[in-house]
Amino acid sequence: MTVYTDCLYFKGDLPCGPHKESGIHCKGCPFYRKTGLKILIIKLGAIGDVIRTTPLLRKLKEIHPDAKVFWLTYSPGILSRNWANKVLEVNQENIEFIKQIEFDWVINLDKDPLAISLILRVKAKKKSGFVIDEWGNASPISSKAEEHKWLTGIFDDLNKLNKKHYVEEVFDMCGFDFKDEEYIIEIPQNKYEWNIEKTKKVIGLNTGCGGRWTSRLWPREYWIKLAKDLIKENYEVIVLGGEQEHEKNKSISEQSGAKYPGYFPLNTFISLIDQCDLVVTSVTMAMHLAIGLKKQLILFNNIFNKNEFYLYGRGKILEPEFECGCYYTPICENNCMQYIYPKKVLAEINKLFVKSL
């Protein structure tokens, strides 16, 4: 029997899509597409980091439409199988699997020990990104763009001078021009019935920032004040967060009158954010979800270079009214987030909705 193992749709262990739809076999199949490049992306990272790298898939599919794209990650659930042909969770089995394939191009965008050592052990005609050096540290492979991304990661003064956002830097490292390619997030078919008044503009207040970078936390009393003021101006207000913020969010809801539906698994949380017209958040996974879902965004930033974030023209970055010394530090001794005032946030939300009308 003729089997086209080089077809882009061929899976090897399961029926391909065309066969499932029509019952056709390989010989004479009108859907046959010869696989072009085999490309491996190594972007392990947290969910937010993976989300903000997904525009690269759009560019790869544009330039190499018949490429077979593999992606190795700790967060496989967030990636669309319509854009990445093989999404591989980081485990020993999948690491051994990719070591047996000869790729045309491997792109490693992480600088952690597993990523920089693995790229040496994967066979490929071309490699981009970061690799391990003789001292066990991350090092740029070859290009000026890789060196730029490396240097801005190890020197704060160079990082502060950087004018490029993250997606642009990734595109540069791959030799592409960034042309507003959007994030890729698939909205889950969730049948959850949200108790949300959709006749009003819906504002999501994402109150957490994870446990590591508590310097990004906005004061609880400010969330309460903002929620009350938004409700007075006839907005529908939803409090967002994970399990870590549960008790805080219940308190904010009780004291402000904002709705708090609870915390949820990732797919349900995506569905909840999709109910919002605008999200207020610090730099978190929810920020990247909101960008990917094309929501208006008020982004609080105090410890990062604001040029790192690209909102696609849908929002505003707010920073404290003075420059604090907490750049890239987990804890802010000055608590500088208190200098982003609820009154300012409310004014910017109103401006964004006037602008979008």
Domains of the chain: 35-173 (3.40.50.2000), 202-356 (3.40.50.2000)
**Does residue 357 have a pLDDT over 80?**
no
Mean pLDDT, all residues of the chain: 94
Residues of the chain with pLDDT > 70, as a percent, come to: 98
Q: How confident is the model at residue 12 (pLDDT cuts 50, 70, 90)?
A: confident
Looking at residue 332, its pLDDT comes to 87
Looking at residue 262, its pLDDT comes to 95
User: How many beta carbons lie within 10 A of that of residue 236, not counting itself?
Assistant: 20
Alpha carbon distance 71, 42 (integer Å): 6
Overall average pLDDT of the 213-230 stretch: 94
Q: Phi/psi at 153 (nearest 5 deg)?
A: -85, -15
pTM passes above 0.95: no
| Strand, helix or coil for residue 207 | coil
Overall average pLDDT of the 129-150 stretch: 94
pLDDT tens figures, 18-35: 999 999 999 889 999 999
Alpha carbon distance 74, 270 (integer Å): 18
User: How many beta carbons lie within 10 A of that of residue 62, not counting itself?
Assistant: 11
Q: How confident is the model at residue 355 (pLDDT cuts 50, 70, 90)?
A: low
Looking at residue 356, its pLDDT comes to 55
Q: Phi/psi at 42 (nearest 5 deg)?
A: -105, 100
Which pair of tokens denotes residue 149? 């991304």
